[in-house]
Structure 1
Amino acid sequence: MNIKMLSMGAMALAMMTGAALAGGSTGTSALDDPAKMTPFFTDAGMKTMKSDDEFKAAWMALTEEDRASMTKDCGDNVIGKSHDNFCAKTKQLGGAN
């Protein structure tokens, strides 16, 4: 149990540090925010998506505002195309549900 707690703490710290170094999400897509996107991927490089059940759990853990922002970004042709796998999964979930 301690290893799991340490791992989760390290992951949270890495996500906060990454967001701080990137200057937050000012002027960028929510889909480019590592703090929001990391829960949907199995790897640090965010190349491999989690299973459908894990993806849905991460999606439902977001705030309604974050889900709306991400859904909007998926509707943008340029932004959505660079995140096509993620956007396809959000559409399978019916957008915000």
Structure 2
Amino acid sequence: MNIKAICLGALALSVLSGVTFAGALDEPDNMQPFFTDSSMKTMKSDADFKAAWGAMPKEKQEAMKKECNDAAMSKPHAEFCVKVHLIGGNS
């Protein structure tokens, strides 16, 4: 009985905490300004990217830069993170 309760508790915790793992790069509202299409497959030009980056609040910029500096978080967003490093800096 104790093992079953522990397993169920661990499962519930992993399901509930899974939502907290989503970061700034996983939020469509944060990413949409950098893409030309609603499917977010085609990135905007460097000039438009830079304009969208400049219009973003500093807190979101910092969160995105932090995630782009994390290899695991940036892997699915590699092309975006390259532009962040070039235009937004990699501090």
Band the TM-score falls in, shorter-chain normalisation? 0.7 to 0.9
Aligned to 1:5: none
- Whether 1:29 and 2:31 are equivalent positions in the alignment is no
Q: SS of the counterpart of 1:93?
A: helix
2:79 is equivalent to residue 92 of structure 1: no
1:48 to 42, 49, 66: 42
Larger radius of gyration: 2
Alignment of 1:1-97 (within 5 A): 26-95=20-89
The CA distance in 1 between the partners of 2:48 and 2:88, in whole Å, is: 16
**Identity over aligned residues, as a percent?**
50
Find runs of 4+ consecutive structure 1 residues off by over 4 angstroms.
none
In 2: Cα distance, 1:31 partner to 1:95 partner: 16
RMSD between superposed Cα atoms in Å: 1.6
**1: CA distance between counterparts of 2:20 and 2:55?**
22
User: For residue 8 of structure 1, what is the aligned residue in structure 2?
Assistant: none
- Listed as ranges, the gaps of 5+ residues in structure 1 are 1-24
Q: How many residues align?
A: 72
Amino acid of the structure 2 residue aligned with 1:34: P
TM-score with structure 1 length normalisation? Answer: 0.69
TM-score by length of 2: 0.73
More helix by share: 2
Structure 2 residues without counterparts, runs of 5 or longer? 1-18
Residues in 2 aligned to 1:92 and 1:39: alpha-carbon distance in whole angstroms: 17
